Amino acid sequence: MKIPMKPLTKAVCARDKIALERELARAQIKQAQASLVEASRLGYRDIAEIILKKEGVLFSHHNFKAMAVAAGEGHKDLVSFYWDLLPPFDKAQHMHQAAFLQASAMAVQKNKRDILEYLFEKPLPPQTMKLNGLLNGAVMCGAGECLTFLLSKNTQPLDKNLLSVCASEGHVKLMKDLFPFFKTMPPYVEALNHAVSSGKLNTVACLLDEKDYGGHVNFSLLLERAVAAKNKEIVALLFPYADRKRLTDFLDRSHVFARMNEGSENFLYLQHLLQSTESRE
């Protein structure tokens, strides 16, 4: 059953200023602040201005959520309106930092690069420019436009886990964008392990194409993980890289377990691959 809309929310959504004034007159402060968030979601600056005139509803750290919601929806004019309500930067750096962190996180989550660019134009405390949190958010959400912008602004060493997050989420394009920033082998090895464990065939294939892992990766162990994860495509992809003797030992150790479990299909498939290779040789 559909829950009926509350009168204050209904007035906001309808952009009915007369009804809004009437409902605000009897609304509690928390209700008014919630209606400010709804106005921000819809991008109604005129409605937000009316709500902020209610006694006790001040734009402060209590309702930075309104700015964050506007940022996530891409309402740049409303984000700018809220930002201009903040106290001067030299008197309230902590408020500017808190507002930036909340709004930029939502902008990244929704991949709103234009909002992110606007926020970065503002004066900010130096510690705010440690961007690994936003970078992690961008790769988790697949926010390619925001990732590109953040990489252009970043001056700190990148978190080595960024590749692994991309690999686990299956974001091939974003992972390729990060490759130039990682010169050593360990982040690639970790990413490959995460891609296999997460069953992401596309990022496994991409990582295998990017590097010659040589002795850095135990492919037989990776293959065992792919079998355990019941991912036949990854089993086939990793098979040519694995040590045949170790695989034979693995099959010998595992045959009883495989027969006792319904998930033995990949075990049998690996056995088939090994036997087919041996017959060709």
The whole model's pTM is what?
0.82
Instruction: Give which of 222, 219, 262, 265 is closest to 242, Cα–Cα.
Output: 219
pLDDT tens across the length of the chain (281 residues)? 567 789 999 999 999 999 999 999 999 988 999 999 999 999 999 999 999 988 777 777 667 899 999 999 999 999 999 999 998 998 889 889 999 999 999 999 999 999 999 999 999 887 777 788 999 999 999 999 999 999 999 888 899 899 999 999 999 999 999 999 999 999 999 999 999 999 999 999 999 999 988 888 888 788 778 877 777 888 888 888 876 666 666 555 555 444 434 445 655 565 555 555 544 44
